[in-house]
A and B are shown apart, each in its own frame.
Chain A
């Protein structure tokens, strides 16, 4: 596999504490790569190292097969979590200024900006000052600035914070568009449902170390708890009494003839065995494994145990693949 960015054994010390401890990541080309972790885990430090805002104490960095060097900033777009704009500056002028700092010449920048401003309904605001903009508009402008120089690698740190649901969707679409057009995205967030939606791979950092990494689907599969959701019609026998005591069965809901069960099978028992037994109990409408959400996996890996509701709570939300 080709990687757009690789970090090998990165260590970074601040006076008094270790921000990153022997961290390595490999970001495959044309993918959305989630960088996850609780506050203070070291995500921002790693992102700043990728952006060459700070340097690592130890370790090697590669961009597109080359050793990372200052000129590479022109191929990287960065939307920091703590982001802002010059309040008193007109937005068109400001966007041009920031684009020029990324080595886009003024003429090209202007042309591209007009297109993007049009797309995000910002064009009538070109000559307005930032302080006259709503927060959402300022966020859109920042997004445009981040992607304008068509970077090969995009880094979004909490990109959705401060957006309304409509704009979140607009942004998600754009991010996936960018990936489909060849860009790679490093995506750092606490919003786990969006991770499931758009990330291909993730790395989970906790206390300066990587504790989990890999493909999102595979990670969820490997965290399987053997929980299935079953819908039955024409139930002849209640499942609770039919299945052996090794199964943990609970009735989730019942409407007219339709019964909804949540079953947890013991480890090592093939799911077909369970299905066979269920088929005897009634007409199977659906039979689905319920994988833990990224949210639960995050909590499990950081704190060491799943949140209580994963094991006990009855109305467990369905997070199917």
Chain B
């Protein structure tokens, strides 16, 4: 009995010593990277870029607020009074001939001149718009839409259809998507924003896997080409060195990600408080409310709120974020980022061990890049049908699941599928690590030999 306890204590002690060594390696890998200037710069620039992406559109929208002035030469004497000024386009009638109007434009009085010829009823193709600069596309679309409606009603009248009847026939359809949640509450849905969020997190994972995966690869290559690796593996097992590096870099990634989230929130909040008027929700002029809803104050209120929030890009993002379960989103992002990274990082490490210089890495990068790029290519399709068979399968296969599952999660995925995908990903990670460690331990001691896939296959089969 005593002997057994002694043996157990000894095993625990030796395991502890081994774990200690991994911890020492992790610490070095982590500290040397976090102290690098490039890490500090990336950590600061990242949130600035993200905040700019969130805040920028608001300012740009405010900046392009100036009204587009259109001078109208209406030879038909019919259409001008039907053109309505909008927020962005303002019309003024010019009682001049077209040459004089163009002269006026050249002096800078109007942004553009619209010419409606006399017999425009018969030939709408005679409409012309003149401008020295290229015509504002929004203004052009606006005018086209207005005139189209006018021509249509004109033609309808010609055919003897009453405009009142027409007004009655016109139906406005606007499907409000409502998601049924478990607790029975109805919530307004934002499929477009879920898509944006999903694709954004998918791309972020893709980017992180490449960024930190290649950091692992370069770290391994550095040790190999500096010839320090043999000294180290006379103290620790190659597997410990590889895992220490992979985990160390993972922690660097995690640190960077958490700092990014934290700083982005700080910057966004700071800008919002500094420029409150830019982020105010300005109610829109028209809210379409169906006859039934008009009697339901609850729906009415909700509807108005939605429209109000939609009105401001920042508000829109904020509302979408609040409609999505953010802790679940961030939690699963961290899981799929880490597990996806771990799956690929060991393969990156194996490549770093197999080659002598950066140029040789290309041929071995292909099997790693293909599934990742494939996942990104499929992203749009998955986002369009997040519960379809393609989406489900790709979110189960460990090589594509980190990206595809992250894409699907904002749309809501059955928990059973999420757990299965997670379990498969962990299995995949164990598998690639096992495979990679075999390549790694042989590769790091091979110098000056150009390796091929055939050679690597030999290393994998090689025992001991």
Judge whether B227 and A83 touch: CB under 8 Å: yes
Contact with A along B434-448 (1 / 0, CB 8 A): 000000000001010
Closest to B461 in A: A15
Contact with B along A54-68 (1 / 0, CB 8 A): 111100000000000
Is A98's CB within 8 Å of the partner chain B?
A: yes
Is B230's CB within 8 Å of the partner chain A?
A: yes
Judge whether A101 and B464 touch: CB under 8 Å: no
Is B90's CB within 8 Å of the partner chain A?
A: no
Is A88's CB within 8 Å of the partner chain B?
A: yes
Q: Which of A73-81, A208-216, A260-268 contacts B (4 or more CB under 8 A)?
A: A73-81
User: Which of these, B223, B226, B235, B445, contacts A73 with CB under 8 Å?
Assistant: B235
Give the docked Cα–Cα distance between A84 and B458 (Å): 28
Distance in angstroms from B13 CB to nearest chain A CB is 10
Judge whether B234 and A15 touch: CB under 8 Å: no
CB neighbours of A56 from chain B (8 A) = 464
Judge whether B17 and A98 touch: CB under 8 Å: no
Q: How many A-B residue pairs have CB under 8 A?
A: 70
Closest to B223 in A: A86
User: Which of these, B24, B228, B445, contacts A83 with CB under 8 Å?
Assistant: B228
Interface residues of B in 419-464 (CB under 8 A from A): 445, 447, 458, 462, 464
Known interface pairs A55-B464, A57-B464, A88-B32; A101-B230 also in contact (CB < 8 Å): no
CB neighbours of B17 from chain A (8 A) = 71, 103
Give the docked Cα–Cα distance between A89 and B29 (Å): 11
Give the docked Cα–Cα distance between A80 and B236 (Å): 15
CB neighbours of B95 from chain A (8 A) = none
Most chain A beta-carbon neighbours within 10 Å: one of B14, B230, B458: B230
Distance in angstroms from A46 CB to nearest chain B CB is 14
User: Which of these, B223, B226, B231, contacts A145 with CB under 8 Å?
Assistant: B231
Is B233's CB within 8 Å of the partner chain A?
A: yes
Is A82's CB within 8 Å of the partner chain B?
A: yes
Is B189's CB within 8 Å of the partner chain A?
A: no
Most chain A beta-carbon neighbours within 10 Å: one of B233, B458, B462: B233
Judge whether A71 and B445 touch: CB under 8 Å: no
Judge whether B464 and A80 touch: CB under 8 Å: no
CB neighbours of A163 from chain B (8 A) = none
Is A48's CB within 8 Å of the partner chain B?
A: yes
Distance in angstroms from B159 CB to nearest chain A CB is 82
Judge whether B227 and A101 touch: CB under 8 Å: no
Closest to A12 in B: B464
Most chain B beta-carbon neighbours within 10 Å: one of A48, A57, A100, A101: A101
Give the docked Cα–Cα distance between A52 and B24 (Å): 20
CB neighbours of A100 from chain B (8 A) = 21, 24
Query: What is the interface size of chain B, counting residues whose CB is below 8 A from a CB of the partner?
Result: 26
Is B413's CB within 8 Å of the partner chain A?
A: no
Closest to B229 in A: A84
Judge whether A76 and B234 touch: CB under 8 Å: yes
Give the docked Cα–Cα distance between A73 and B230 (Å): 13
Is A321's CB within 8 Å of the partner chain B?
A: no
Judge whether B228 and A101 touch: CB under 8 Å: no
Is B28's CB within 8 Å of the partner chain A?
A: yes
CB neighbours of A170 from chain B (8 A) = none
Distance in angstroms from A130 CB to nearest chain B CB is 9
Judge whether B222 and A86 touch: CB under 8 Å: yes
Contact with A along B3-24 (1 / 0, CB 8 A): 0000000000010010001001
Distance in angstroms from B460 CB to nearest chain A CB is 11
Closest to A74 in B: B235
Is B232's CB within 8 Å of the partner chain A?
A: yes
Judge whether A78 and B24 touch: CB under 8 Å: no
Distance in angstroms from A275 CB to nearest chain B CB is 53
Most chain A beta-carbon neighbours within 10 Å: one of B24, B223, B238: B24
Is A53's CB within 8 Å of the partner chain B?
A: yes
Most chain A beta-carbon neighbours within 10 Å: one of B233, B234, B462: B234
Closest to A84 in B: B227
CB neighbours of A48 from chain B (8 A) = 445
Known interface pairs A55-B464, A57-B464; A78-B226 also in contact (CB < 8 Å): no
Judge whether B234 and A71 touch: CB under 8 Å: no
Give the docked Cα–Cα distance between A307 and B231 (Å): 37
Known interface pairs A51-B234, A73-B234, A101-B236; A82-B462 also in contact (CB < 8 Å): no
Interface residues of B in 25-71 (CB under 8 A from A): 25, 28, 32
Judge whether A82 and B32 touch: CB under 8 Å: no
Distance in angstroms from A145 CB to nearest chain B CB is 7
CB neighbours of A142 from chain B (8 A) = 231
Judge whether A98 and B234 touch: CB under 8 Å: no
Distance in angstroms from A14 CB to nearest chain B CB is 8
Judge whether B21 and A101 touch: CB under 8 Å: yes
Closest to B447 in A: A82
Distance in angstroms from A76 CB to nearest chain B CB is 7
CB neighbours of B222 from chain A (8 A) = 86
CB neighbours of B237 from chain A (8 A) = 70
Judge whether A98 and B230 touch: CB under 8 Å: no
Known interface pairs A84-B226, A84-B227, A86-B226; A101-B445 also in contact (CB < 8 Å): no
Judge whether B28 and A97 touch: CB under 8 Å: yes
Is A112's CB within 8 Å of the partner chain B?
A: no
User: Which of these, A55, A80, A82, A103, contacts B234 with CB under 8 Å?
Assistant: A80
Residues of chain A having any CB pair with chain B under 8 Å: 15, 48, 51-57, 70-71, 73-74, 76, 78-80, 82-89, 97-98, 100-103, 142, 145
A sample of 15 more A-B contacts (CB under 8 A), given A76-B234, A82-B230, A83-B230, is A51-B234, A53-B234, A53-B445, A56-B464, A57-B464, A80-B230, A82-B227, A84-B228, A85-B228, A88-B32, A97-B24, A97-B28, A100-B24, A102-B235, A103-B21
Pick the 5 closest A-B CB pairs, nearest first: A84-B227, A84-B226, A101-B235, A78-B234, A80-B230
Q: Show 22 residue pairs from A and B whose CB-CB distance is below 8 angstroms, ordered by the A residue.
A: A48-B445, A53-B230, A53-B233, A54-B464, A71-B17, A73-B234, A74-B235, A78-B230, A78-B234, A79-B231, A80-B230, A80-B231, A82-B227, A82-B447, A83-B228, A83-B231, A84-B226, A85-B228, A86-B222, A86-B226, A101-B21, A102-B235
